[in-house]
Amino acid sequence: MSWQWFHRLGSPRWFYQTSTRWLPLLALIAAAVLVSGLVWGLAFAPADAKQGNSFRIIYIHVPASFLALAGYYIMAIAGAVGLIWKMKLSYMVMKSAAPIGAALTFIALFTGAIWGKPTWGAYWVWDARITSMLILLFLYLGVMALQYAYHSIDAASKAGAILALVGTVNIPIIYKSVDWWYTLHQPATIKFTSAPSMHIDMFLPLLVMIVGFYLFYAVALILHTRSEILRRERKTAWVRELVQPNVGEKA
């Protein structure tokens, strides 16, 4: 009985119909949390003593980086579920997670570059975290490229899942080795002291933004998965009826 929800997920149709009901509410909550977090962080949080207002970009940068990494694991887990339980829906989730994760990784890199210019005096430095994020972007692009390369949806899904899993094994190794590499070559001009503990007035809006980004990620993932469901199930009766409700009746 307790596994019923899991078995239901095997049906893309059930997911589509259920998410139709819940999506507006989820989107509303996500928008509310994001807007309140942004207004709080950008307008009301105190300015940083050293960085002034430029620090406020962390309200985008940090949540985006969080989800960029979490998104890879979500994608890999979805792929593993697909390989193990042969579930169509989870492959669709996996495929949808890749471009969203890549976009978030890009946002994290981009906002980092914008913040780096006034703070470090350069848009790009080969810092350990930045380099790891760049490699993460490459990993995402690889999964996306592999999926687009196959004509057969089945092969694309399974190959993508295997690559995502191999990447999951590699990510901790890559992160650790890039970390090690950086301590070896740390340039003397740029010093990264450990971040001073954040004041609670700055930290609370960040927390709100992180929650908001998670909600936003969920909304984006569901939306993307829904369109993927429609695309892959376009030949089934229920999708046809959904798109052209009258055609079926006339025929």
Binding site for another protein (CB under 8 A): 135, 138-139, 141-142, 145-146, 149-150, 152, 154-155, 158-159, 162-163, 165-167, 169-170, 173-174, 176-178, 180-181, 184
Tokens 């819940």 label which residue? 22
- Distance of closest approach, residue 137 Cβ to another protein, in angstroms: 9
Nearer to another protein, 160 or 212 (CB): 160
* Six-digit token string for 221: 């993932």
Tokens 């993460």 label which residue? 136
Task: Show Cβ contacts of residue 33 under 8 Å, excluding neighbours closer than 6 positions.
Answer: 208, 211, 212, 215
- Distance of closest approach, residue 151 Cβ to another protein, in angstroms: 8
Nearer to another protein, 151 or 235 (CB): 151
- Distance of closest approach, residue 112 Cβ to another protein, in angstroms: 19
* Six-digit token string for 80: 């593993």
- Distance of closest approach, residue 71 Cβ to another protein, in angstroms: 16
Nearer to another protein, 109 or 219 (CB): 109
Collapsing DSSP states into helix, strand and coil, what is residue 144? Answer: helix
Tokens 């490459």 label which residue? 138
**DSSP structural state of residue 43:** I
Nearer to another protein, 145 or 237 (CB): 145
Nearer to another protein, 103 or 165 (CB): 165
CB 3 within 8 A of CB 81: no
State which H helix or E strand residue 108 sits in: helix 88-120
- Distance of closest approach, residue 139 Cβ to another protein, in angstroms: 5
Q: In whole angstroms, what is the distance from residue 179 CA to residue 208 CA? A: 29
Q: In whole angstroms, what is the distance from residue 137 CA to residue 108 CA? A: 10
